[in-house]
Structure formats: structure tokens, C-alpha cells
């Protein structure tokens, strides 16, 4: 018999993609205001899993400016104008040299993170066959969906951030977690439909 917990477990497995890291050509970090994904990327870089890290992001399009550092403001206290500036600072602070950090500072939403990151790699002449995705745990499915569509020939490994408040283990235990994760389920459906079918209404965007 199906119960509500069966459905919640299925959602957990769908949204919270997590895999063991493998040796790759690059680590992608989609735009965000939390230090955890970049810290995770730095950890993997230090362990020799990839020679480059490509953080991507300007700021969220609906807001129109960088919202500020969401956690650990006492450590990452720069005057950041873009998500990329912030993520680069986190990477460098955690041992990644500047020449290993690629730059994409124009993207304003996750799909654009993937699209513009592809342009950066083409311009730099960097071929990627295997890549790691570092993101917040509840963002994993949507990031994988976008990056896989933009990079169809790349084999991705998803290595989510450590230290986030909302995790696969506890998201069902709070209103905040339920809203966040179920909102991701909704966005995956709506945005995937947009990507496959195009806008259904004039002016509709991701």
C-alpha cells in the first residue's frame, strides 16, 4: 500500500542526488550566496579530483543585485558585486589558486549558469568529458538537469555541499524544508517543460 511517506521518500531520492566523486576535468559551481558549495568544490580540488573550478553567477534575476553572503559572513566579508566574486573568494580562501578558477559572472539563473559556462569553456579551449557538480543538496536535481542538457556529452558526478541546514535527512521535519524541497519539485517540472516545449505564454521565462 502506498503511503505519504512512500511519496516523500521518492521525492527525497529524486531531488537529493549525491554520488561519490571521481577524477574529472572540471568542477562546476552554479551561482548562489552560500559558501558551502564552493567550500565543497575547494575540498575536492585540494584532493586532486579536477584541475579547474568554474563558478558561475552574477545575481538572481528577480532581485537585480547580489543579495549578500547567506552564511559565514564573519569569514567571507568582502564587498562582493556578483555571486562569482563571492564564490571565487571562498575558493581562494580554501586553498584553490586563482589561476585554477575560471570566470563566468553574467548568469542570472541556473539554466544560464550552464549555458554561459559552456561558452567560457569553448573560449578557453578546455575540453570536458567528466565533470563534478557542487551545489546545495536540495538544488542537486535541477542543476544536474540543466547542466546535462547543455553538456550532453559530459559525464556528471553530483557532489553536494556539506553543512547546509536543509538536508535529505531532515527536509521533511520542518515547514521551511517542505516548502524548499517541494518548490524544487515544482520548478523542475515547470522549467523542464519550458526547456522541452518552449514558453506556453507570451513573455514567459525561466
User: Rounded CA gap, 147 and 134, in Å?
Assistant: 12
SS (H, E, C) 96-149: CCHHHECCECCCCCHHHHHHHHHHHHHHHCCCCCEEEECCCHHHHHHHHHHHHH
User: Rounded CA gap, 141 and 131, in Å?
Assistant: 15
Which residue, 123, 191, 143, is CA-closest to 30? Answer: 143
C-alpha cell at 160: 553536494
C-alpha cell at 67: 543579495
Which residue, 93, 111, 95, is CA-closest to 31? Answer: 111
Domain boundaries, the chain: 17-164
Give me the helix-helix angle, 36-46 and 83-93, nearest 10°.
Answer: 40
CATH of domain 17-164: 3.40.50.620
The predicted structure's pLDDT at residue 198: 61
The predicted structure's pLDDT at residue 6: 84
The pTM of this model reads 0.91
The predicted structure's pLDDT at residue 188: 86
The predicted structure's pLDDT at residue 2: 53
Which residue, 8, 88, 97, 110, is CA-closest to 45? Answer: 97
Q: How many residues can be counted in the chain?
A: 206
The predicted structure's pLDDT at residue 97: 98
User: Rounded CA gap, 123 and 41, in Å?
Assistant: 22
User: Rounded CA gap, 45 and 103, in Å?
Assistant: 16
Q: How far apart are the first and last CA of the chain?
A: 37
pLDDT tens, the chain, 206 aa long: 455 568 899 999 999 999 999 999 999 999 999 999 999 999 999 999 999 999 999 998 888 889 999 999 999 999 999 999 999 999 999 999 999 999 999 999 999 999 999 999 999 999 999 999 999 999 999 999 999 999 999 999 999 999 999 999 999 999 999 999 999 999 888 877 767 676 555 455 55
Burial class (CB in 10 A: 0-12, 13-18, 19+), 195: middle
Give the rounded distance of the alpha carbon of 141 from its chain centre. Answer: 9
The predicted structure's pLDDT at residue 55: 98
Enumerate the β-bridge partners of residue 55: 29
Amino acid at each position: 500500500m502506498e503511503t505519504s511517506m512512500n511519496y516523500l521518500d521518492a521525492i527525497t531520492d529524486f531531488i537529493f542526488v549525491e554520488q561519490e566523486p571521481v577524477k574529472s576535468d572540471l568542477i562546476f559551481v552554479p551561482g548562489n550566496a552560500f559558501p558551502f558549495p564552493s567550500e565543497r568544490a575547494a575540498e575536492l580540488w585540494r584532493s586532486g579530483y579536477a584541475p579547474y573550478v568554474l563558478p558561475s553567477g552574477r545575481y538572481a534575476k528577480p532581485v537585480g543585485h547580489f543579495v549578500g553572503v547567506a552564511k559565514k559572513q564573519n569569514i567571507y566579508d568582502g564587498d562582493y558585486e556578483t555571486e562569482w566574486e563571492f564564490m571565487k573568494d571562498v575558493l581562494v580562501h580554501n586553498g584553490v589558486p586563482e589561476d585554477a578558477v575560471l570566470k563566468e559572472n553574467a548568469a542570472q539563473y541556473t539554466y544560464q549558469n550552464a549555458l554561459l559556462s559552456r561558452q567560457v569553456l569553448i573560449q578557453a579551449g578546455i575540453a570536458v568529458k567528466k565533470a563534478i557538480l557542487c551545489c546545495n543538496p536540495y538544488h542537486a536535481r535541477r542543476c544536474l538537469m540543466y547542466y546535462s542538457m547543455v553538456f550532453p556529452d559530459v559525464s556528471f558526478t553530483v557532489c553536494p555541499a556539506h553543512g547546509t541546514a536543509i538536508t535529505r535527512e531532515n527536509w521533511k521535519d520542518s515547514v521551511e524544508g517542505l516548502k524548499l524541497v517541494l518548490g524544487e519539485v515544482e520548478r523542475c517540472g515547470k522549467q523542464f517543460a519550458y526547456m522541452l516545449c518552449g514558453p506556453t505564454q507570451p513573455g514567459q521565462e525561466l
